[in-house]
Structure 1
């Protein structure tokens, strides 16, 4: 659908205003520190180049000890974390003790490797956890200064299941303040850097996980996603992640909890350095709900139907997709067609143009109980005085606010948000759901960008705040799959 002349003018005007604001913002914004170093030291330990499944196999077979693996990752974290600021609290001493217990268990096991694999598939493998999740003995502040002294007494269910499978947590990783922004930055832990370019963001809200995995300092991790918080960091850091269908992995034990209609979109999911670890992790994290996904079923890719959607149709609120990303998607299409002998159909879906409006509407609606969602300002007030967004913005300009500009901005936006959804946007959302359900069915795969740009420079998302909607708009798709169990259909975001 072609843009109108007014929409093109609005887009140009918005970008001009944003860049003028950016010039002023540079005077006030905190800058990441990496001592002038432009890139990370290379990985030298071969253990860091193996997947979690390969490491678990080697540990079970006594080809390497869990202590050696855990120590290798500790060494790498100590080497690169001063540059990327991804891990915010470690438990290295406890992890080494647990690894020694694993090695002792393997020495004493008489049932053989198969018994260990069945009972403890991740035995001895290190893992990292987003700080928003409860990990016993670790902070659970979600970057909020008023929660800085909070220490978890128990594990979140997803964490407990992975530990029960034998994984050994190394520590917790950074996130955006209250998990609602695509740059992992808060006034408690600071800014997380991208391991491939320290001047760029690692994404959010699970950016600490994305960065530490991308740096080769972790092999598997836990993230959460309500509008792209797993998918965006995976895209920016060159790793793998999955936002499962709603209701598969428990969301309990993370802060902030979802409320209102948001409960239908928040998902906990796996993040990993190697693709082969995705299914085993999801199989463990899903616990008793895993059977809904048929993860062990064989899938013949030649019998799947593939669709390519290169962009959202040209929303004036969202940046155009970079030419290099369009070219990358064309290369994926070319590879699929050559390798599988299939034809990938290219589509433009007009409703994607309203993706931000759809996401914003759904996030502000009350839940099934009729209760409205908790406001962002209320979350910012956790454990302290009530937050007034306009006063907080004034304090920020003077350098006295305990909150990031992104968090303050989100609270300000809520002040102008209508409690009555636009009938037009609701119509677009319903139309989009119906079209995608009919298009994908049970055997469809949609290729779609994760973001219109590669990882932006630090703080740039403040001036392109709607670009996250490339992942935000796919929450309605997840709702379809969860409610109707059409679990083969999926969106592959590139």
Structure 2
């Protein structure tokens, strides 16, 4: 108990000090979006209201051309991107040329629709790509000013596989600086806004993906997740996303690179507006590793065991889960029990109170050969010398730093983070891992909050920097998670829940996502009245 009290005291003191400095930084040194428009135009083209699976089928059947579909999405991006600033570099001209080639291929195909579906399941469907993924001919900077002008020479494996399946990339989307913050903001591309309220954040680091998908400027996209970078943007923007079991989808040719043991916690996966696209996208993105997952197995939801954890048990580092998110998770439980005849068991795992500390500890562990992870300051200075955080802080105060406040603060915190990994938190993780693995097994599904609150206003995460622990802990546990939208809340902002399954049981959470979309309505047009 004494250790818990000490940690609470340390966390309170740390939050008080950082909140004081962040308040000063926000007032003097951060920029807000200048646009006064708060709502996006509604979707008017019916092609934008169909899943990628449906669009591919219509293109194969010549009911619509790929050029028409691609042009519809280009038009929508041009309508909404001036407001959300999600797509940071487009390739519209090349995409239209590729769409024309698709239409020509279909005209000349003699093997029939089934042959095309088997060979090219996403033929002619537009795709958005997170800028941290290598997409040949497109920038690969993750918002770092010193990498301005860096252009990818190859495709990252998941992107290559999606292109090989017939998908057509339209462009790349914004991230937080070096993909290590909750808000997608950097000084190279600027700040990205939430699709449902331009005064709110879209999440990070896949915030550009979340925003453009939520805004109906894309139908499918790709994200990466080491602490919630797929799930938080999907939650904040009312779309579906899947954090795959680690090691299934390749994380090669992304920037920044992983180091230490971070590759054990990084997951790549699909982001999309319609639940039925999750499974076919994952099959494609997994490539030669698809056999590791039971993606062709039919799932009978009535035979699954369901669990619910409403909050982390009162961590000193995170804020309490809001009433509307507690209520919507309770409603999911009630629907599951009424519709499926199952019993959803509420459980409490005390180790979840240490979620942030566990995540922080494991992200800093050295690799198997004893080599520590790359320092964040090193990445900030790439390709030159490491950044000097104190100097960048002074430069930021006079508006001269190339780095954002969160990046500078992370580098400053790194300077004080000199202690060895805590044996206590390693023990807590091992105990939590054992309990979670036993709880879920091969037929268990867990409901867990995505975040303590709906999308906050710009820069407000500076005051609550550790709330991502609700997603981050699941990275360290190596579990697959599907983020599911659950309608809109009191302020017209998306609600949602994480659906967690056991390792390599991704098909279970994906099946639950289909049920939740049918029950709660899935994605909603942010421009609708």
- Please report the TM-score for the alignment, with normalisation by the length of structure 1: 0.95
Moved more, 202-211 or 384-393: 384-393
Whole-angstrom distance in 2 between the partners of 1:486 and 1:139: 35
- Partner residue in 1 for 2:428: 428
SS at structure 1 position matched to 2:95: helix
Asked if the contact 1:264–1:479 (Cα under 8 Å) also holds between the matched residues in 2, the reply is no
Whole-angstrom distance in 2 between the partners of 1:382 and 1:39: 38
Alignment of 1:84-483 (within 5 A): 84-478=84-478
Moved more, 243-252 or 471-480: 471-480
SS at structure 2 position matched to 1:377: helix
SS at structure 2 position matched to 1:194: coil
SS at structure 1 position matched to 2:199: strand
Shift of 1:246: 1.2
Asked if the contact 1:192–1:202 (Cα under 8 Å) also holds between the matched residues in 2, the reply is yes
SS at structure 2 position matched to 1:360: helix
SS at structure 1 position matched to 2:169: strand
Deviations 1:78-104 (A, max 9, x none): 001000000000000000000000000
- Partner residue in 2 for 1:77: 77
Moved more, 204-213 or 372-381: 372-381
Deviations 1:382-414 (A, max 9, x none): 113331111111111121111111111111111
Q: How many residues align?
A: 494
Shift of 1:30: 3.2
- Decide whether aligned partners of structure 1 residues 15 and 382 sit closer, same or farther in structure 2, where only a CA change above 3 A counts: closer
Whole-angstrom distance in 1 between the partners of 2:4 and 2:375: 35
Asked if the contact 1:441–1:489 (Cα under 8 Å) also holds between the matched residues in 2, the reply is no
Asked if the contact 1:442–1:487 (Cα under 8 Å) also holds between the matched residues in 2, the reply is no
- Partner residue in 2 for 1:50: 50
SS at structure 1 position matched to 2:93: helix
- Decide whether aligned partners of structure 1 residues 15 and 418 sit closer, same or farther in structure 2, where only a CA change above 3 A counts: closer
Whole-angstrom distance in 1 between the partners of 2:503 and 2:347: 24
What 5-or-longer segments of structure 1 have no aligned partner? Answer: none
Shift of 1:416: 1.8
Whole-angstrom distance in 2 between the partners of 1:15 and 1:284: 43
Asked if the contact 1:19–1:463 (Cα under 8 Å) also holds between the matched residues in 2, the reply is yes
Whole-angstrom distance in 2 between the partners of 1:418 and 1:431: 25
Whole-angstrom distance in 2 between the partners of 1:389 and 1:358: 25
Moved more, 364-373 or 219-228: 364-373
Asked if the contact 1:304–1:443 (Cα under 8 Å) also holds between the matched residues in 2, the reply is yes
Whole-angstrom distance in 2 between the partners of 1:385 and 1:132: 21
Whole-angstrom distance in 1 between the partners of 2:120 and 2:273: 20
Whole-angstrom distance in 2 between the partners of 1:307 and 1:178: 35
Asked if the contact 2:445–2:502 (Cα under 8 Å) also holds between the matched residues in 1, the reply is no
Whole-angstrom distance in 2 between the partners of 1:178 and 1:33: 21
- Please report the TM-score for the alignment, with normalisation by the length of structure 2: 0.89
Asked if the contact 2:89–2:173 (Cα under 8 Å) also holds between the matched residues in 1, the reply is yes
Q: What do you get for the CA RMSD once the two structures are aligned?
A: 2.3
SS at structure 1 position matched to 2:198: strand
4+ long deviations beyond 2 Å: 3-35, 479-494
SS at structure 2 position matched to 1:223: strand
What 5-or-longer segments of structure 2 have no aligned partner? Answer: 481-499, 517-529
SS at structure 2 position matched to 1:260: coil
Moved more, 7-16 or 258-267: 7-16
